[in-house]
Chains A and B, each alone.
Chain A
Amino acid sequence: MSEKVFGAGLKPREDPALLRGERKYTADITLPGMVHMEFVRSAHGHAAIRSIDVAEAQAMPGVLRIVTGADLEGKLMPLPCIWVPGGVESHFPPHPYGLPGAGTVLATGSVRFIGEPVAVVVAETRAQAADAVRAIRVDYEVLPAVVTPEQALAEGAPQLHDAVPGNLNALWTCGDADGTDAAIADAEVVVKLDLHNRRTINSPLEPRAAIGDYDPVTGESTLYATTQSPHNHRFLLSALVLGMPFNKLRVISPEVGGSFGTKGYLYPDMPLVIFLSRELQRPVKWQDSREGLMRSTVQGRDHRQYATIAGTRDGRITALRCTSYANLGAYPSTIGPGVATALMGRSITGTYDIEHAFCEVYATFTNTVPLGAQRGSGRAEATFLIERLVDRFAATIGMDPAEVRLRNMIRPEQQPFDNRMGWLYDSGDYGAALQRALEMAGYTDREKAKQAARARGKLLGVGISTFVAVCGVGPSPRIAKEGMLGGSWESANIRVHPTGEVTLTIGVTGTGQSHETTFAQIVAQEFGVAVDSVQVLHSDTVKAPYGQGTYGSRSYSVGGPAVQIAARQVTDKMRLAAAHMFGVDEKQVVFRDGTVQVEGDAEKTKSFSDMAMALWYGWDLPPGMEPAIDVTTTFDPADFNYPYGAHIAIVEVDEVTGDVELVRYIAVNDVGPVGNPLVVDGQIEGSIVHGVGQALMEVARYDETGALLTDNLHKYAIPRASDVPFFEMDRTETPTPHNPLGAKGAGEAATVPTAAAVTNAVCDALAGFGVEHLDMPLTAETVWRAMNADTTSRNGAQ
C-alpha cells in the first residue's frame, strides 16, 4: 500500500455510531439490580453543620442507605491533591498519608462551598433517592463567607481550614524580582494594568456520572465513570481514598461527552459509588444534573492580576511584572494549585523575548466551587495578560500593536528559547505566523473597514493575540520538579494477530478527539496495512496498558510516539525473523510498503500477514526470538512541546446598544505535523469558540454568601451557532524535537489566544471613548456602560 495514511484527513471511524446515537456514555449504562445515588449538597457557601436528621428520609419508599460524613470516618480517606506548587511553602487540608488533602468525601463539621456534598441517599430509583434527599434536614449555623482572594487574605477574615492559616494555600513566585523591579524603575515607559480574568464554568455537554459495581465472587470492584484519566484515577482511588488493592479496582471510561479539563479530577461520587456498591452488594449509579455540575465540577480561570509592563519609546519591551491573586475555591482540586500557579505564572512572557520578568501568585482558598483546568488553563490567563499589556504598551507609545509584537517576538534562530520563567520553547517562527495572520486579515486596510462599518452604525475593532502554549505534559522527572505527584509517560500495546489484523491498545482516553482514528493511522502507516484492519482499544484499565490521562494536550504528542515506537519494534521483529527464514544477514532485509524484502532480490519478499502467521506458528524463528507479536512500549518525552500561533479577531460594536458581533476570526496555528487534519482543525475550531465564549458571555457569578447565581445554562451563557461566523484558518507545521512524531499539543492551544484577541478587538473598537481596558465578559451591558460612562470611571469598568 503506497497511499499516505498518516497525515490524511480520514473521516473518523467513531463518527457513524455517534451520529446514530449508539455509543454508550456512563449515564446510558444500566446494570442488573442497579440502584441510584443522589447527593444532599450544601445550601450555604460557609456554614457549620450542627446536625443532620435522616430519620424521615430513612423511612421513605425505596430508600436503601443514607450516609453522612460521620459514617465514613475510618472508611474512606479524604481525596488527595497531587499538584502542589514546587519549591514554596504550602498549606493543605489533611490526608492520613501526610499528602496534601483535598477535603473529605462528605463534609464533616462544616461546609465550605455551595455544592459541597453533605450526605448521600441510595434508593431503588433515582426519583426515590431525590425525594429522600429533600426529606433530610441539615441544621446549619451559617458562617460569614469569603468569595474573593482579597477578602480571604484580609486581616480577620473567616478561616476555612484549620491547617491553612490566613486561607493562603501558597505564595508562589517565579522569575527575577530584583532585576525586574530595577528594569521597571529605569524604563522610559511604564504601563500598568489591573484586570480580573473571571471565573468560568467549563460546561461540557455531558454532566458527570459514575457507577460502582462490586462483584462479591471475585471481590473486585468496577467503576464506570466520566473520566479522562482512568488509570490515574484507579491508582488514586484505590491507594489513597478507598485503601483497597490496586488490582481489585477496574476503571472503565465509556464514551465521554466532552471534558475540557473537568473530568481529570477526583470527585466524591467516585469512591462513594464503589464503597456503597460493596456495602449494598448491588451496582450503584449516580448521574449529575446541570445544576449539580455547575455547583460541584471544577471551574476555571479566576485570577485578579496587577501587572506592569515597561520598555522603550521605540517599542522594545524590557520588563514584565505580575502579582496575581488566584481563587482556588474551597478546596484544592486534584491538580488545581499547580494550574493556578506554575501553569499560569511561567507562561506570562508569551511569544516575546523579555529580559526581566517576575510573577507571584497568591493561591487562596475561598467559599466557591474548587478551581481546576479549563481548556487552555493557566496559559490562557497568562496570554490574556501579556496580550492585553502589549496592546496597552503600544497605545501608550503610539505604535501599531502588530509592529510592537513583531519587534519583541522571539526569532526562529533563538530557538530553543529559555523564556526565563521555566519554559524552554522548542521551535517555530512566531513572527511568520503573525505576518500570515495580518495578511489574511487585510490588516493594512483596516481603517477603510472601520469607516465602512461606521457608516452602518457600527464600531469596528481589530484585535491581535499571539500565543505559545506549553503542552504535551511530560517528561516525568520534569513534572516531579514542578511538584506533580505522578508520572507523565504514555504506553501502547500492539498485537498482530495470525491473520495479519492488528489490535492497538493505548493508555490514553479520548473525550471526543477521535483517538481511535488518528492512532490507527499511525499504525497503518508504519505497517502498510489498511487502516480499517487496525482495531483500537482504550479506556478500560483491565484491557489497556497504563496511561496517565488525557490532559494538557498530551494524548497525541506523548501517546502517539509510544504507538509509533511499538509499531517499529513489530516491523523490526518481522525483519529479523524474515532474515532468518531467508538465510540472509539482517542488514539485507528491509520492511517497506507492508512487506519484508531482501534488498536486490525481488523473489525474497514476505507479506505482513505471512510474517504474522509465521511468528504465530513459531516454527522457524531465530535463536532466542519469542513467538507471536505482542509488544508494549512506553514513551516519556524529552521535554514539553510548544504549539504557537497568531489570531486576529474583528468585531463590530453596535454604537447604540453596545452589542458585540464577532464578524471575522483569523487563526494561524502551528501544532507541528498533523496526524489527521480533519480532526485537528475540528479541535482548533472548537477551541476558538471556547475562548469566544469567555470573551463575550461566560462568567460564574457568586453573591457575597457564596451562592452561585449562574447555576444553569440560561444564567450561564455558552456560545450558540448564531454567535460565531465561519473562521478563516491556516496552519504551518514546525516539528518539535521532543518526540519522534514532531507533534505538538492541538486540543486546547487555540483557546489560549482567543479571549485576548476578541477583547483587544473590542477595546480597539472603543478606543474613541477613551476605554483602556474592560474585564470579560464583554456583554452588551458592559460595553454600553463603557461607552456611556463619564471619563473618571472608564478604566477597568466591570
Chain B
Amino acid sequence: MRISLSVNNTSVEQEVEPRVLLVDLIRDDLRLTGTKVGCDTGQCGTCTVLLDGRAVKSCSMLAVQAEGTQITTIEGANAETGLTDLQEALWKEHGVQCGYCTPGMVLALQDLLATNKAPTEQEVRCGLAGNLCRCTGYQSVVRATLALTGQTGGDDNV
C-alpha cells in the first residue's frame, strides 16, 4: 500500500506492506533509529513518538494507520544543536543511564508538559506510567521534570 505522511516536517511517500508497524517504518525504512523497540506489546514506551502532537506508541499501530498524520520522532523534537530545555534539565539530574528508554521518555514528557505546564510529582509519575526505565529508578527523571517547572522534589541525595 502507498501511504503519505509527514515525519519530522518532511513529507514521506512510501510503499509499505499492510502489516508493517509504524515503528518499523520509522526505524527500518526511514532509518530514524532514535526511536527504539523494547517490547512490541505497548508496555515499555521506548517506541514513543508524537502523532499530531500527542505521544503514541509506534509499535502499537500500523504504518498505514499513520496516513495523513504528522509524526515527530526524537530526531524531529531535538533542537538543531545542543539540547532542549527539557533535555538540559534531564542532563543536569543525570536522568539517563543506558539511554534506551530516553527518547521515548523525552517525548512522553514533552507531551505531558504541553498539556500541563506545572504537573505535580504524582502527575509526572502518572504521565510516565507508559514509559519503563530499568536504570534510573525514575528518581532523576521525575526530579528533572519538577525542577524544569520550578518545583522541587526528592532533593535528599548527598
Contact = CB atoms under 8 A, between A and B. Distances in A.
A714 B36 contact: no
Contact of A20 (B38, B78, B135): B78
Interface in B1-53: 17, 19, 27-28, 31, 33-44, 46
Contacts of B131: 721
A386 interface: no
Contact of A258 (B135, B157, B158): B135
B57 interface: no
B54 to A, nearest CB: 19
A712 B78 CA distance: 31
B100 A681 contact: no
Interface string A29-51: 01000000000000000000000
A106 B149 CA distance: 54
A720 B132 contact: yes
B121 to A, nearest CB: 8
A20 B91 CA distance: 11
A257 B44 CA distance: 13
B44 A19 contact: no
Contacts of B44: 205, 290, 713
A289 B40 CA distance: 7
Contacts of B78: 20-21
B83 A19 contact: yes
B134 A258 contact: yes
Given A258-B98, A686-B97, A727 B43 contact: no
A688 B158 contact: no
B98 A21 contact: no
Contacts of A14: 99
Interface string A62-77: 0000000000000000
A23 interface: yes
A724 interface: yes
A726 B96 contact: no
A256 interface: yes
Contacts of A289: 40
Nearest to A14: B99
A206 B100 contact: yes
Given A20-B74, A685-B140, A712-B43, A255 B99 contact: yes
Contacts of A713: 39, 41, 43-44, 132
Q: How large is the interface on A (under 10, 10 to 19, 20 to 34, 35 or more residues)?
A: 35 or more
B31 A512 contact: no
Interface string B104-141: 00100000000000000110111011011111111111
Interface stretch (A588-596, A643-651, A728-736): A728-736
A203 interface: yes
A514 interface: yes
B87 interface: yes
Contact of A21 (B40, B75, B138, B140): B75
Given A16-B91, A203-B134, A205-B46, A720 B129 contact: yes
B154 interface: yes
A714 B96 contact: no
B158 A205 contact: no
A528 to B, nearest CB: 25
B87 A21 contact: no
Interface residues of B, number: 63
B94 A678 contact: yes
B156 A513 contact: no
B94 A12 contact: yes
Nearest to A206: B100
Given A205-B38, A713-B44, A726 B142 contact: yes
A19 B125 contact: no
A255 B99 CA distance: 9
A690 B38 CA distance: 18
Contact of B106 (A19, A512, A720): A19
A683 B73 CA distance: 28
B126 to A, nearest CB: 5
Contacts of A689: 137-138
Nearest to B92: A11
B158 A727 contact: no
A416 interface: no
Contacts of A291: 40
A86 interface: no
B81 to A, nearest CB: 10
A685 B125 CA distance: 16
Given A718-B134, A722-B126, A726-B142, A19 B96 contact: yes
B58 interface: no
Contacts of B154: 725-727
Interface in A255-291: 255-258, 260, 289-291
A28 B132 contact: no
Given A15-B91, A206-B100, A722 B125 contact: yes
Interface string B55-98: 00000000000000000011100100011000100111010111
Contacts of A679: 94
B142 A15 contact: no
B142 to A, nearest CB: 6
A729 B143 CA distance: 14
Given A19-B87, A721-B128, A730 B96 contact: no
Contact of B34 (A16, A20, A714): A20
A511 interface: yes
Given A679-B94, A681-B158, A721-B125, A205 B106 contact: no
B102 A729 contact: no
A206 B33 CA distance: 13
B124 A721 contact: yes
Nearest to B141: A721
Contact of B36 (A20, A206, A729): A206
A682 B91 CA distance: 12
B94 A15 contact: yes
Contacts of A681: 157-158
B82 to A, nearest CB: 8
Nearest to A20: B78
Given A19-B96, A20-B34, A689-B137, A730 B158 contact: yes
A363 to B, nearest CB: 27
Interface in A68-95: none
A22 interface: yes
A452 interface: no
Contacts of A688: 137
A511 B34 contact: no
Contacts of B90: 15, 19
B100 A690 contact: no
Given A721-B124, A729-B157, A19 B91 contact: yes
Nearest to A717: B43
Nearest to B143: A726
Interface string A654-693: 0000000000000000000000011101110111111000
A27 B98 contact: no
B98 A205 contact: yes
Tell me which of B27, B90, B139 has the highest count of chain A C-beta atoms within 10 A of its own C-beta: B139
Contacts of B101: 205
A30 B96 CA distance: 25
Tell me which of A290, A678, A729 has the highest count of chain B C-beta atoms within 10 A of its own C-beta: A290
Contacts of A718: 132, 134
Contact of B87 (A20, A720, A731): A20
A291 B101 CA distance: 18
A638 interface: no
Contact of A205 (B27, B132, B137, B140): B132
Contact of A127 (B17, B135, B138): B17
Given A28-B33, A713-B43, A18 B138 contact: no
**Top 3 closest pairs, chain A to chain B, by CB:** A21-B34, A726-B154, A512-B98
16 contacts: A12-B94, A14-B99, A19-B87, A19-B90, A20-B74, A21-B73, A21-B106, A205-B38, A205-B46, A206-B38, A289-B40, A686-B134, A714-B42, A721-B133, A724-B139, A726-B156
Given A15-B99, A19-B96, A686-B135, 7 more contacts: A205-B44, A205-B46, A257-B38, A258-B98, A512-B135, A682-B136, A724-B137
